[in-house]
Structure 1
Amino acid sequence: MCSERLFYWSLLSNTPARINRSSALMASTLLPAPLGPLLLLLLLCSTSGSSQRPQWPVQRVPVVWPQQIEEQPPPHFLRPAQLQVTSSCGPECHKRALPPSYWDLQQFLSYETLHSSGQLTETVVGIYGFDANAFYETPAGRSRSKRQIFGHDSRFSIVGHDFLLNYPFSAAVKLSTGCSGTLVGDRHVLTAAHCVHDGKNYVKGAQRLRVGFLKPQHKETSGRNGTGGRPDKMKFQWIRVKRTHVPKGWIKGTANDIGMDYDYALLELKKAHKRRHMKLGISPAAKQLPGKRVQFSGFDNDRPGQLVYRFCEAGDETYDLLYQRCDAQPGASGSGVYARMWNRRSRRWERKVIGVFSGHQWVDLSGTPQEFNVAVRITPLKFAQICYWIKGNYVDCRQG
């Protein structure tokens, strides 16, 4: 945890730094910075005991189980992906919405699967072990967050192969439709549903969807001992998507109503990658997060070819959505929102994806458009569904 705090410090101090995580407490790993705040930071690291560790909450996970698969007519591929989402329902609107019934949830969590061949299937699911009274509770509200950039732009472009090719930054990928995503399995990428489907139709490019992995581009240089290669710029290496899962809650709703709660999708690649992926986690309440903070990395359109990292305080929240103050631009949509907390079972720190950054939600409030940064939270039911898409069984999906 201290090495991560020092990493934040190196970013905030605006001084380039290479951090050796195995010896993060050594001040020599940082370039000169104001001494007082750094010493305070080191003091906080040295005095934080195990009793103060933010821990992943232990939650019981229900089962979302396929019951029937039906082939659907070939889909239409229309407009390009819209990288920003419009909605008529803001935080207070979502809080006032009635909790869905079992039959509503069964409908919302049923899903479509788009295959690379163009075949489209619909899967009807059953839900088991779900107690609406235990799970469906709206957290206490906090101040809402607005705007894409909050005063000073607090985003950081990640530079240098040492960072870009190492976890967790290496788990961020780019979609050929212009969005971002996060590796959550050997062949699986979590992203936003609106990156492949606009609520009514699949977007242009969804059938031939590709996922880009940022890798170093080597330039050939001649030397006394012959020709060698040196890393210079970064480029994307692309892998085709085999199938795409989109929940019916997004398709049956639209971005203009409660369907916003289901703005997530899972992509299965045609071949496995070799990078470390992130684990899924059920989203804790904002007050349980370390420093009430979330973080994510994506490929913002205003910084082409660069991976952009940010962290910020979580703001208002509903059962399905998390509003936060993270600076972002179109292109970051679909990024996995993650946190780092202590796993009491494995007795170690773990980063887990707890949501999907949906983007900038425009809400028409009494004729006045207002903007919110919003992420879809991974609830117990969504965890069960996404985990099943990855694992292919529910036995390995019982702990979130």
Structure 2
Amino acid sequence: MCSNLGFSRWPSTHLLLLLSVLPLVTSSSRPQWILQRIPAVLPLQSEPRPAPLFLSPARLDVASQCDPECHLKAHRPEDRDLPQFLAYQTLHADGRLSETAVGIYGLDPNPNRSSEKVPRRRKREIFGPDGRYSIGGRDFALKYPFSAAVKLSTGCSGTLVGDRHVLTAAHCVHDGKNYVKGAQRLRVGFLKPKRDSRGAVSNLTANVDAAAQSGKMKFQWIRAKRTHVPKGWIKGNANDIGMDYDYALLELKKAHRRRHLKLGVSPPSRRLPGRRVHFSGFDNDRPGQLVYRFCRAGEETSDLLYQRCDARPGASGSGVYARMWDAGRRRWERKVIGVFSGHQWVERRGASQEFNVAVRITPLKYAQICYWIKGNFVDCREG
């Protein structure tokens, strides 16, 4: 049975209680964000590229034909290969395309790379009973952290990670070979309350319920000014390592006025509170609704985090986040630690297991995304 967290079915106190107990830990066992030194990923030079044709239809699913053995080999690039994968393309709103080479400085010479087998990509699934929650009511959908979830005009979801920046999945704007239809005129939608004829904010719960029945939702749209996509995604679909780099950053033409989620380096899943991860997005089987879910994190590689959070197409690009204690600021902080990407099979001991998967924000990816947001590496040295 599908769960629903709107005023019509759940009192506000129920959801507030749910959010307050996730994670449920004592003060003596607080899971903490552990700051670490971040390498620098700096642009070296940019060159123009031919303007894209934008002929490919937008895809809400991606796939890989690489079997687990070839994928395992592909997921262990040498350090000398990393600048090729972290080089990036920038698509401008006027259709211009540029490609930027990068240099990597301060990289840990002995990274802790996982040897887990990496699975093939399929479609997203619901695992058993549907554990998603439809977020309704002005006290929820328009309040943090749910208010940080946005919708892309290509049909995916995204997460606010700066005053002008949205983190999403690369496949939402680029199919691995070409930029998709709509990428040049990409827009980002912010869920907003409807107003009555007098200009007053009307009852959002009723409007959300009505919108769900009609398949429509009230959004305020802002155009994207620039879109950054790592070359690892573009190169990856040719040599089967692309899923490690299925992330992109959008810069908006104007600033929004909402609180955004902070960016964080993905910790080992064993250090997550209750091993849980959370994310909200606009699943296409629930039109007119923002959908929230949380679940226990499963296996992981150095670049991917497996979990069994229920999700459907449209949730792609949602920011996967965790909430832990920030000892320096002496408060709980939510940080985005990954980008929801899709569904995969894991072959293990002769049996197939299935998981939904998120691209982890590694120190290198943190350095790259943070630089795209801040425009300098000085503010990106601790993650």
| Equivalent-residue separation in structure 2 for 1:322 and 1:156 (angstroms) | 22
Q: Which letter does structure 2 place at the counterpart of 1:17?
A: P
Does the CA contact (< 8 Å) of 1:144 and 1:316 recur in 2?
Answer: no
- Residue pairs, 1:5-44, within 5 angstroms: 16-19=10-13
Does the CA contact (< 8 Å) of 2:295 and 2:308 recur in 1?
Answer: yes
Q: 1:169 aligns with which of 109, 132, 146?
A: 146
Asked if 1:114 corresponds to 2:91, the answer is yes
User: Percent of pairs identical after alignment?
Assistant: 70
| Distance 1:145-1:152 versus aligned 2 partners, 3 A rule | farther
Larger radius of gyration: 1
Does the CA contact (< 8 Å) of 1:10 and 1:17 recur in 2?
Answer: no
Does the CA contact (< 8 Å) of 2:121 and 2:345 recur in 1?
Answer: no
Q: 2:225 aligns with which of 226, 242, 247?
A: 242
Aligned to 1:269: 252
Q: 2:376 aligns with which of 393, 396, 399?
A: 393
Aligned to 2:314: 331
| Distance 1:258-1:159 versus aligned 2 partners, 3 A rule | same
The answer to which of 99-108 and 208-217 deviates more is 99-108
| Equivalent-residue separation in structure 2 for 1:51 and 1:369 (angstroms) | 39
Aligned to 1:209: 186
Does the CA contact (< 8 Å) of 1:165 and 1:215 recur in 2?
Answer: yes
The answer to which of 81-90 and 300-309 deviates more is 81-90
Does the CA contact (< 8 Å) of 1:142 and 1:317 recur in 2?
Answer: no
| Equivalent-residue separation in structure 2 for 1:287 and 1:141 (angstroms) | 19
- Residue pairs, 1:251-262, within 5 angstroms: 251-254=234-237, 257-262=240-245
| Equivalent-residue separation in structure 2 for 1:229 and 1:352 (angstroms) | 30
TM-score, normalization: structure 1?
A: 0.83
Q: 1:307 aligns with which of 281, 286, 290?
A: 290
- Secondary structure in 1 matching 2:12: coil
Asked if 1:348 corresponds to 2:331, the answer is yes
Aligned to 1:138: 114
- The answer for unaligned runs of 5 or more in structure 1 is 1-8, 31-40, 222-226
Aligned to 1:36: none
- The answer for unaligned runs of 5 or more in structure 2 is 208-216
Aligned to 2:166: 189
| Equivalent-residue separation in structure 2 for 1:256 and 1:331 (angstroms) | 26
| Equivalent-residue separation in structure 2 for 1:176 and 1:313 (angstroms) | 30
| Equivalent-residue separation in structure 1 for 2:74 and 2:201 (angstroms) | 59
- Secondary structure in 2 matching 1:276: coil
Aligned to 2:57: 80
| Distance 1:316-1:144 versus aligned 2 partners, 3 A rule | farther
- Secondary structure in 2 matching 1:86: coil
Asked if 1:65 corresponds to 2:37, the answer is no
TM-score, normalization: structure 2?
A: 0.87
Offset of 1:218 from its aligned partner? 1.2
The Cα RMSD (Å) is 3.2
Offset of 1:322 from its aligned partner? 0.7
Which digits, 9 at most, give the CA deviation of each residue in 1:3-57, with x for residues without a partner? xxxxxx996xx96121399xx78xxx99xxxxxxxxxx79x96xx5432001112
Which digits, 9 at most, give the CA deviation of each residue in 1:157-184, with x for residues without a partner? 0010110110000000000000000000
| Equivalent-residue separation in structure 1 for 2:314 and 2:333 (angstroms) | 27
| Equivalent-residue separation in structure 1 for 2:290 and 2:201 (angstroms) | 24
Offset of 1:98 from its aligned partner? 5.8
Q: Which letter does structure 1 place at the counterpart of 2:174?
A: H
Offset of 1:88 from its aligned partner? 2.7
Does the CA contact (< 8 Å) of 1:143 and 1:315 recur in 2?
Answer: no
Does the CA contact (< 8 Å) of 2:117 and 2:347 recur in 1?
Answer: no
Does the CA contact (< 8 Å) of 1:296 and 1:338 recur in 2?
Answer: yes
- Secondary structure in 2 matching 1:80: coil
| Distance 1:336-1:141 versus aligned 2 partners, 3 A rule | same
| Equivalent-residue separation in structure 2 for 1:73 and 1:89 (angstroms) | 30
Offset of 1:150 from its aligned partner? 0.8
- Paired residue total: 365
